[in-house]
Amino acid sequence: MSSTEDLDYPQIILQYSSGFLVSKVMFTACELGVFDLLLESGEPLSSDAIAMHLGTSTTGMERLLDACVGLKLLTVELTQEGALYRNTEISNIYLTKSSPKSQYHIMMYYSNAVYLCWHYLADAVREGRNQYERAFGISSKDPFGAMYRSEEEMLKFMAGQNSVWSICGRDVLAAFDLSPFSQIYDLGGGGGALAQECVSLYPNSTVTIYDLSEVVKMAKEQFVPPEEHRIAFHEGDFFNDSIPEAELYILSKILHDWDDDKCRQLLAKVYKACKPGGGVLLVESLLNEDKSGPLDTQLYSMNMLVQTEGKERTAREYSKLLEAAGFGEIQVKRTGKLYDAVLGKK
């Protein structure tokens, strides 16, 4: 077993301090279309050819490509004609726009929105509130009003969330057997990717996406095909409007946006609307009970500070919120992936 003396702490600290450079290289290559071009070309290309196609400088592109090679996002082959670059399998699957599992849209959301809020992290820590006002000049009192500040921004956010569920959705929906629930409401279901995963996994179910009117309109126009008759829509604000009766309510990445009082308020409404024998499925990234990790979840919680009114929680903290609303028989399943599942029964 390694001792602390075996660790190169100065090197670790330097790597931590430059961590944002790694993500920015990947975001920039996505934004400029490097991975898309290499996929479409069907053959490796030189840095000069890539720069010409994408309208960039040759010196800047060569450095970007070499950094992507270092990150294992590209491979390089040295030939008599010079260095030729091609995508790795990971880049083809996750970083090209045309891939069913593409994470391009969430990358662009992080690059263009999240990064700007994180610039004011020290202010968020001092003040204990999100930083939309400093980042975008928009009131911090309405986090989703800031996220949906234009149709273009709303589309980016919804597409980004959909891309997450394209790789994480099935894991959380299969954490418990949800087949007994045929009538499901997906509260804050956004672009509908989780709803589509749900009806695919449980073909006898119907899912109603409950979200703000402008979100529902965008989901119908951009994301959910009209021929998918197992998915319906309900326009409303679940804090201020009534919640219809259903057998199961899915709250995926909803409670982490809000403080405990708001969570209790929403869960009480869900419990009241829920049919006897029904339940609620929470999909969240769970902290360890001693808050020692996982690191990804700790960083998500920092992101909740700079962007929302909420935080990430432990399984016990979510269980207490469910119990306060009246739910029982609470079960927790850690998926081993980014998001976990908590099921409560009425």
Q: Is position 256 annotated as part of the catalytic site?
A: yes
Of 172, 160, 141, 133, residue with least CA distance to 218: 160
Distance in angstroms (rounded) separating the CA atoms of residues 93 and 107 = 14
Relative orientation angle of helices 9-17 and 19-32, to the nearest 10 degrees: 40
CA separation, residue 53 to residues 38, 40, 125 (Å): 11, 12, 43
C-alpha angle 55-58-63 in degrees, rounded to nearest 5: 115
Query: What's the Rg (C-alpha) of the chain?
Result: 22
Q: Which of 105, 229, 234, 256 is catalytic?
A: 256
CA separation, residue 304 to residues 20, 28, 218, 250, 312 (Å): 18, 24, 24, 20, 8
CA separation, residue 238 to residues 150, 270, 285, 314 (Å): 21, 9, 22, 24
Q: What is the DSSP letter of 241?
A: S
Q: What is the DSSP letter of 212?
A: -
Q: Are 205 and 184 in contact (CB under 8 A)?
A: yes
- Spell out the alpha helix ranges (H) of the chain: 9-17, 19-32, 34-41, 47-54, 58-70, 89-94, 104-109, 115-118, 121-127, 132-136, 143-147, 151-173, 193-201, 213-222, 260-273, 295-307, 315-325
Residues tagged active-site: 256
